[in-house]
Each structure stands twice: as structure tokens, then as C-alpha cells.
Structure 1
């Protein structure tokens, strides 16, 4: 069984045309070894070169990339293979689980057909006939804990966790010796993430597969990998046993990655998200929530009327006080986003639902609704999708002011909003377009666009789900800062309990459309009463799992 070796690998991207920046070194002189049957994690933030390094193992780099050094699968130098030999190696000897399952699966073919495609390309005696391939597909679905009828489903008919399981089934189809998993659990809720990680660990153990896993989250790698390598700016910073890397790292950067994801119950990380400056300051004079209820929901129900009808939100009671951050937590499909849309007046509610803002019923049309949406702003999960790629930062932030017909000095208001979102000096960002910004900067622009209207409350839907460790801390630190400086209230929708521990005054737990538990953060997360809350807490990964 072959292993995987990176021997003094450097990878450079050549740029040209309008975006000509010369040669960009993405990976610099990295040597790593994944022994046969071993597990190796590579951690680092976006831009560290970890995915570029992994893609080189199957020669999946773009044409403008130049590789120096050697990438070996067993004794075979991947760069020396002709196309036919490379095609034979892919899937059969080494396969990959890509990060975005929805983007990797073909939306117009059933998942069974897509798994079958790999078997048709790599025909062996075992699955030479259509019947044998059909049997193999059902066997693979069973391996990844999916029912056989899912073979006839299209990707959009599956949940995020089910799509990721299909990707793993495809990677296993031709019985490879090596699997490369690139951020296989990003943006999955904690319970589905634990299921995927447990399944990967079981398959590696039972089948003797070599696993190379890539993530920016050390707690995820600690769950599945024996050894972890840390990359930064294309270079290998540190490598060692998972326990040592998580609990006794030699490098400050490794410690920063380990500390970026808080341990629930650790007083040091309560209201102190880790940023590039270290832990956020717990200011003694920070504003406390008032007794005034800003947003109130009573008996809220939302039903989607279709075949049979689906009750997505059931009898929800929820309050958000002025100057308070409330975390609404739960799995994907629990009804969190539907409830948020209802609170914004974007989703019709059933008769009898009572939603009030500052004591007044939620308006349903006309100028009143428009004025309400000045006071409550929505921050979407994906900043890349929320921003128009053709508009500059200035135009994106000013758009809301123009829609609302707000008079005054537009430039001054846009500049102040960028300063409030900690993008300074603001003039430096006025002309930038989204693709010229980092993920964290894009999310700050979205928040600046909301702040330009001087809202009293933000409703933020998974605002840090896909962001790197330190960028995540920066955005959470910003939200705490906005609460302290501007008295802003926020309802933060998340599946990340660590986020709630970092910044929330109160937590509400949602399950199957109902809020099953709510109260002060310390009470809900440290002394949970409902079994579902306990299940969420038990599923949350932690670097301390490797230090016990």
C-alpha cells in the first residue's frame, strides 16, 4: 500500500494581464510524509498554501502553477505520469473529498449516477457489468450510512451532511489507498460534523486507508488525525503528534490557532473572542443589556404550504433586549433562518403570531415596513453572495442609504460606517471591489452597509461559519465592540456553541421548529436541561479531546 510524500515542494503561480503581480509563491520548500495507513492533518488559515499543496498530489493545480520538488505516491513521481497513467491513479489509488459538496456534485444527475461514473471510468472485474456497479453503489451508500433510495435523489434533495456523505462514497468507490479530505466539515452543524468525522475515522481504521485532512480548525483535525502539520504563508511552521500540537505547541502561531476556537466553560474566553491582537478586552465599563424588550415574539408559527404542509416554526416565544446579544442555536433545518426571516417581515407567519418591535406590532407593508427595516438590519451568512461583485465598497455601503432616501452627507456617513466596522482609513476601501478583499473584510463591508442606516438591531445569520480562525475572532470582536460602543442589539443565528460562549448574553436552543431551552449563556451551556442541548454540547469538537 503506497504512502504520500511531499519532497521539498514549492508551488508558484504566474500572473499576467490586468492582475499581473508577477510570480506568487503559494508553497515554499515543504517536506511532509503520510505513511501508508497513517493519518495526517494540515492546518492553517486561508492563503497558507494547504489546499494548493494537497491539490498537487493529484495534479489538480491550474495551468499557471509551477511545481518544484517532488510529489510521490509510493515510489511514483506524480509529475512524471502521462495523462492515461494519471487518470488510472486518480480514484483508484488516491481520491479527494472536495470542500463544497454542493458545488462538486452535478445538479442535473442523481447521486447514484455520479458515483457510478467513477466505477465506469475505472472498470475492474468486480464491477464490470451494470448490475455489479449498481450493487457497488448501494454498498457504498450503506458504508456512509445513507439509505439505498438516496441513489435516485438529486443533490438539491439532500441535506448538507448527506451531500458530504455522497462525496465520501464517491471517494471510496474504487477502493483507493489514499483519501485527501479538503475542509470536509466546513459550515456543517456540530452534530452532522461529528457524524462525518466519526465515519471518516471508522473507515480509516477498518479499511487501512491513508488520510490527509485539511482544515483551519485544529479541533476538527484533533478528532481524526494522529499527526498535525501547521502551515503559514506557504511554509511549514510546525509538525508533531496531535496531542502535542494541540496542548504543547512550540510556535506562537500554533497556539493562536488552538486558542481561536473557545472551550465552552473556560472563563478566559467568555466575552473574549481571540483576534490578531490576542484575546479581546473584557472592558469593565461595557454596556449591559437594559430591561427594555426591543424585539418580542409570541406564539410565532410559520407553515410552508405545499404537499401536506410543513410547520417550520412552532409556537416560538423569544425576546431580545436593548443592548443584548442573543444566540439562536440549533442544527441545519431546525427553523432558525425561517424564524429570523419572520422577525424581519420577510416570511409570512400564521394567523395568531405576534411580533413586536419597540412595543409596536411588526408592520406588513408600505412606509412603516420600510422604516422598520432601517431600524433592524440583516447580515447574511455568505459575504461573497451578499455583495454585488461589480459594485465598489463605497457603492455597496451607500446602497441602503439611497434605497431609504436618507439625506445628508453621503460620503461622510459611508466613511463613518466603515470606521465603525473597523475598516480604516475608510478612503482606502472606497474603490475596492469584493474580490480584492479578504473574507473578513468582505463581512465587515456587509456589516458597514447595515450600520450606515444607524439600526438599533442586527439579525446575523451564521456570520462567521466559513471564516478562518482569527478572522472569525475579528468579526465576533467587532460585534461585541458595536454592542459596547453603539448599544446595538443582535440576534445571532448559529450552529456554533463556541460563538455563543464568546459573545452572547443569552442563548435560545431551537429543535424541530421549537425553542426547547433558553436562558443566560452560562446557565444553558454549563447546566443544560434539555436532552437536545446536551447532545449539541457533546458533539462540539475541542482541542482538549487530545489533551485528556
Structure 2
């Protein structure tokens, strides 16, 4: 039998202070195989991945064996390790925007590992860069572009091209599709599957999304608290999970069409799920009428981001606005909130046009609040939780005792007891807790409508369900309506009453969630549903 491209034997990683992040892991990967490593933030999966090429910080103590093509990286000299990196094994890092140098062209960055690790002659580098771009299905002229000129999916393809530059036998992909929309995600997954087959490389793919891993990996390893708690073929692990943590991961991403997950996101909250609320038909709370938004292009001319859109959100109704990146969803949301002026058409709230004056808009924004996608970016790292929530109260001069209002908002967002969180800084909170703080900041102003832009895209699988369940409870307890912007069709199936599908600035389909997602009429809606990862059933 051929030598495994990667073999881990009793791998243990301990950080300063005694925290054991990886505890006795044994794994084997053959050439041409794909292994999915699933788990939530803090389980040790990224630590395990970074230990393979000794990319961990100096305070990490690594024991056990890490064999790359039979050679232990732990005993390699720095010179040998430098030769192995990129040439024998490479990493596709999680945040393509942060991993790429913003002041260097794409071509320069792909060429860098070739110059440092592959000894490619300078006169051949341009041709090799063009070949790599072709392999990841990007045109050769993208070599002259800068990262900010590429979409999220294109940046991820560049990261894959860099990882393949020196023809390694092992590629480790750390959350390569996180925050990508469903169609781009499907394209990246197809690309990686093809490259593994064509080049015979071993691929370790890390994600918290079990359905993504199960759709493209032959085997799955589930990690929890530093250990591998389940290992097997992808269909068996996804459809017949044995460990409680695997079961929770499998339940976190519902299947569109599964009646059991309708209005029932996976949650372990003692409050459980609220009774199903059916909004009463009547005059809508929010309505757009033929809303159009144009932007001026560099070099002259105009581009249309939103094209004559008319949608409604009823009192206490949850509407999901779905579509891929660049479809106009966020521009529509900004216009609904009065943050972007429309070119034509209008926004009506409770039957009244949006005010134009700054004072009128301030009053309106107490009624309609925004919940941003990335809670880490939405919160000031120097402000305590109390200050983050009190800021909005002060801006809008909300009457009442400030401390009581902050406490009530934290209680409503299920951060209890409120006093325990008030003095805490954001970096001491988990991702789910930070998102609850953002929601609490919105609730403090006692709004009637939440506009939530990808509210769970950056969260772990289990935390995702908790936040969605919170939105359902807020609707049941406070009568809150919500316009939820997402590329996740499972989210729409989980919590929305109606869904509007947006494509290139147009609403191409709108209706009850079951009608649109189970019997789509428009080709674009059908393509969105076709791009959802599907895991084969066990043989």
C-alpha cells in the first residue's frame, strides 16, 4: 500500500497555561483522498491543521508524530521545514480578504511561493501564474488585479491557486467556503473536488458545516474538546451520527422541505421554541414601491443595483430576502433604513413615506433597527457591553433610567443575568454572545422592525440555531417584524413566513416559503436550490 500523505499519531498540542487544545488524535490520509474535519470554534481543528506545518505560536507544545510522506515534521530542521512548506503541503487560509496582501497584485502573490519554494525561472513565472489561474477557472488578466477588485469567490480561488503553485501532495483548506453565497460555495467545492481528482493530492477540509463537508469528502472526522469523537464515511457520519455532538452538528443545518425543521431551529435553550405565530394579514408595516437605486461608475455611466423593487413586510412577519452576493440585497436593506437615497420609487413605513430630514430619520430608526453580519466588527472593542448598548439610548435620548433600559435589552436578548455582562468587553464573549449584544443594542430602542443582514453567517452551527430561535421568540413576545437578508435557504426554511428571491437587482420570485422553496418557478431560484450541498445516503 502507498505511504500515507499525512499520518497523525497520538498528536497533542498544549498552550501556555496548560490548555490542551488537541488531545491524542490519530488520523491517516492517503493520496487522492478527501477528509473532512468538522467541529465548532475552540474544538481544536485549526490548531490541529496548523500543527502539521509547525505554524503554531511559540507557546504551543506539540507531542506525538506528524508524518508527511513518512517524514516527521517535528524532527525536521528549519531548512528542511521551509522546503516542505508549499512544496509538499500547503494551506488555504480561512479569510481570503485578510490572507491576501491588499497592495500587491494577484499575479505577484501567486508568484511569491514559486520564487521562494519552487525555483521556477523568472521568465517562466508569468506562464505558470496564468496556468494556475486557468486551473481555478479565472482569466489570465486577473493577474493584474488587486484583491479589492475581486469578489469573495474569486479571492478564494486565488488562495487555492497559491496553495497549488508548488504542486504539493497535501492541501489543508481551513473553512474555505465560510461566508460565501450558496452558488459560489458550490463552484468552489466543485473546483476543489476536480483538482483533487486531477492531481491526486490529499485534501483535509475544515468546516463547522457538516453538510458542506459531507457533500465533497469521502471520510469525516468530528472533533469535540480536542478529541476525534466520530470518524467514518461521510454518508454514515451525516445520516447515522452516533456521538451527541455529531447529532447536534447534523441538526444545525436543516434540509429544505423537512417539516420537522419548519419554525424549529436547533436549540438547547431551556426556553425552547415559542408557539408558532401566524402574522395576521392587513396593512403592511414596511412596503417598498418600485424602488430603484443607481450608482455612478468610475469613468462615467451608471450601474443599477436595485431595479423597481416592490416588497412588503407585515406586522410581526419574518421575510427572508435571499440571493447571491452582488444581487442587490444589502443595497435594498440600506435604502429601507434610509441609509441610501433611492433614485426613484419610495419606502413606506406604517403607511407613511420615509422622512427626509435628519431629525425625522432619527425618529424612524428607533422603529427600524439594523443587525449587522459580523458582530466582532459591529462592536467597538474598547466599549463594554453596557456602553455599546447605552450608546444608542443616548443618541436617541430615550426616556427612562439608562441602566434599567440596558438591563431590559440584555434580558430580551437572553444575556442573563444582565449585570454579569454589563462590564464585559467584546473579546471576552463568544461569537453567539457578541451577536446577542448587537441584537440587544437594537432592542434597547424598542423597534417594531429588525433588518438583519446575514445574522448567523459567521457563527458556529449550534450558535446559529440559538440566534434563529431568539428571533422567533422576539417575534412571539414583542411582535417584532424582521427582514432577514441571507444566502442561506435553510435559514429561510427555518424561520421565515415568506421569501423574496433577488437576482441582479430584481425580485424574481416572492411568496410563502413552502411555495417558493418546494415549487420554485424562476430558473434562478431553481439554481439556488440546486447549489445546496447534498450528502449521499449510506449504501
Partner of 2:342: 349
The alignment's TM-score, normalised by the length of structure 1, stands at 0.96
Partner of 2:359: 367
Partners of 1:169 and 1:63 in 2: CA distance = 29
CA RMSD of aligned residues (A): 1.3
**Does 2:315 correspond to 1:322?**
yes
Q: Partner of 1:433 in structure 2?
A: 425
Question: Distance in 2 between the 1:335 and 1:278 partners?
Answer: 38
CA drift of 1:194 comes to: 0.3
Q: 2:531 aligns with which of 531, 539, 546?
A: 539
Structure 2 partner of 1:206: 198
**Structure 1 position 84, deviation (Å):** 1.3
Question: Alpha-carbon deviation of 1:287?
Answer: 5.3
Distance in 1 (alpha carbons) for counterparts of 2:272 and 2:537 = 26
Match of 1:87 among 79, 82, 107: 82
Match of 1:12 in 2: 14
**Counterpart contact for 1:272–1:279, Cα < 8 Å:** no
Runs of 4+ off more than 4 Å: 277-280
Indicate the residue corresponding to 1:162 in structure 2.
154
Instruction: State which of 516, 521, 524 in structure 2 corresponds to 1:524.
Output: 516
What is the number of equivalent residue pairs in this alignment? Answer: 535
Find the residue that maps to 1:281 and give its secondary structure.
Answer: coil
The alpha carbon displacement at 1:71 in A equals 1.1
2:28 match: 33
1:390 and 1:73 map into 2 onto residues whose CA distance is 43
Structure 1: stretches of 5+ with no match in the other structure: 15-21
Give the whole-Å Cα distance in 2 for the aligned partners of 1:276 and 1:242.
25
Change (3 A) 1:148 1:171: same
Matched residues in 2 for 1:329 and 1:499: separation?
A: 10
Q: 1:337 aligns with which of 319, 330, 343?
A: 330
Alpha-carbon distance, 1:212 to partner? 0.5
The CA deviation string for residues 438-497 of structure 1, in whole angstroms up to 9 with x for no partner, is 000000000000000000000000000011110000000000110011000000000000
> Which residue does the alignment assign to 2:105?
110
CA distance in 1 between counterparts of 2:234 and 2:414 reads 35
Q: Indicate the residue corresponding to 1:151 in structure 2.
A: 143
Does residue 507 (structure 1) correspond to residue 509 (structure 2)? The answer is no
Equivalence for 1:305: 296
Partner of 2:462, secondary structure, is helix
Distance 2:24 2:528 in 1: 41
Work out the CA distance in 1 between the residues paired with 2:13 and 2:357: 56
Shift of 1:411: 0.9
Q: Does structure 1 retain, via aligned residues, the 8 Å contact 2:4–2:28?
A: no
Q: Which of 178, 182, 185 pairs up with 2:170?
A: 178
* Residues 341-386 of structure 1 deviation map (CA, whole Å, 9 limit, x = unaligned): 0000001111x31111011110122321110000000001000000
Distance 1:31 1:273, change over 3 A: same
Aligned counterparts, 1:116-515, within 5 A: 116-124=111-119, 127-128=120-121, 130-277=122-269, 281=273, 283-284=275-276, 286=277, 288-306=279-297, 307-350=300-343, 352-515=344-507
Assess if the C-alpha contact under 8 Å between 2:274 and 2:472 holds in 1: no
- Where 2:311 maps in the other structure, the secondary structure is strand
TM-score, normalization by structure 2: 0.97
- For 1:380 and 1:547, locate their aligned partners in 2 and report how far apart those are by CA, in whole Å: 39
Residues 421, 113 of structure 1: CA spacing in aligned structure 2 closer, same or farther, 3 A cutoff? Answer: same
Distance 2:386 2:517 in 1: 40
Deviations 1:141-176 (A, max 9, x none): 000000111010000000000000000000000100
C-alpha contact (below 8 Å) 1:331/1:495 kept by paired residues: yes
Q: Distance in 1 between matches of 2:230 and 2:4?
A: 24
**How many Å separate the matches in 2 of 1:199 and 1:424?**
45
